[in-house]
Structure 1
Amino acid sequence: MKVYVLGIAQGVQRTHWFEPLDGDSGPYGLIGPNATKRPSYLALANIIKHVGTRPRYYGWTLLNDKHYAFVFAGPQGMVMIAWAQPGSPDTVQLGAAMNVIDPQTGASRSVEAVQLTNSPLIIKPSQDVPAWAASAWANASKPFPWGGDYSDATSVSLTASADRGLHAGVASVRLVAGEPARDASLSAVQAFTVDPNFLSYTTRPIRITAEVRRNGSAGAGFNLKYESTTGTKGIGWNAVPAGDAWSTMSWVLNDAQFVGKWGYHFTFDSDSTQYSGYSIRSVTVTKL
């Protein structure tokens, strides 16, 4: 449900769920065996009911200064969809009695305070437009409040200890000459995603730079694969130099187009863990 809410807030007109009915990929459908409606089906049905078939995004706000909330102009009036920060359930005072709907069941209750968890809730004021609506409208054109604002940055980077607008999956960290580095040896692929405010859908020349080092004497390397204007492309094999020194690799891409089709924008693909015995000190993406 969060994916749909965030998509609507960013102007996505159509989001495809893979898939409506269970197929050969497994139990991933909105509808399961014997036409059973899964919780995801019910949640989407309730979003449509309260936000409308053509949602009108109003803006975002933070509840208790930290919990995400997105406001829409629904067919019956103002609607807010909110959830708590990960691992931080919290009670939010609404200021007046409001209808709180559980998307997975459709159950509604009128309360003046709501317990937020990681599961989104639909919140509808009974009459007057609440104070959070003004805050949401003021924030409508601003970047979402997580991970920093990289809309004016010329570069984003990633190290073993910090993400500065460039993100990767959880990795094992090893000490190399006394400093932390990402250990690539446990997976054949290292996947990276740039902050959407830094670069998203727009095509422009960029440079990707990586500081890498072999974990031992065995050969290591990877293909750089990235989203381009013509689909996923690969740059030939990049062998990590032998020795115990850090090496800098750099690639200039003139046709990158980061859309996140599979949830990431570029990868270091070693084909198998046989060739992924290397560490990463840093990766940087720079606009040219």
Structure 2
Amino acid sequence: MQLMRLGRPGAERPVVRLDENRYADVSGVVRDFDGAFFDDGGLDSLPDIVTAAPVHEFGDERVGPPIARPHQILCIGLNYSDHAAETGAAVPAEPILFTKSPNTLVGPRDGIRQPRGSTKLDWEVELGIVIGKRASYLDDHAAARDAIAGWVLVNDVSEREFQIERSGQWSKGKSAETFNPAGPVLVTADELSDVSALDMWLDVNGERRQTGTTATMVFDPYEIVRYLSQFMVLEPGDLINTGTPPGVGMGMKPPVYLKPGDVVTLGIAGLGEQRSEVLPPR
């Protein structure tokens, strides 16, 4: 299935995408696609709910992120061998973990707000993992696979000066408002069972910047989930951003960064596309 949320920010309602033109509105039964929904086995009951739900055609209504604000957003750095090479960094021996503020989550067509004082605003197309059940100390990849609810397209927007040059943790270069566009859909794990070689791309103002594939991941999604569960409890609805392929602005020679008015479009095979305009600071 393909889960979506429609409506204005803070008032999205859960729906299930049926095809390019239609969706089933499940908001009469399901409160939201949040941690409680996944924890209560909502995915198992959703097919029966969809069968009885009213069907509508898509209009011009805003598309929100396909999950409600998660308990946490976890991110993996330098997880593509070719991206590590473009930054001049060594391929990590273990996953590099940083966190992103959960309130960065926005929809796939919402604007990206440049922070005050930002001069190095960058883009990163990534595969996102949504956790489907509480997980800790997972033994193997099979257990990790069982803990995954599905997959989502994300843009791990970054402010490189804040991230690298201002000392401290990467999180402060990753956590400004609007820094995690997600969606348009969450594709459940049963519908997309193999994510080992998904094509990925990102354009800025119509010019191709990133072309990659999940095949060059250093640590695959199942190893990431297993690994993280050794250090923390993963909660239903948590989002994990798994890293980006080469072509980020920081890696260009000379570096190129986003500015207000720029339009970023991106996609991953089977997970849809995003379009975000860069907005000036407040």
TM-score (ref. length: structure 1): 0.22
Q: Would you tell me which structure has more strand in proportion to its own residues?
A: 1
Task: Report which structure shows greater RCO (CA 8 Å, sep ≥6).
Answer: 2
Q: Would you tell me which structure has more helix in proportion to its own residues?
A: 2
When Rg is computed on C-alpha atoms for both structures, the one with the higher figure is 1
TM-score (ref. length: structure 2): 0.22
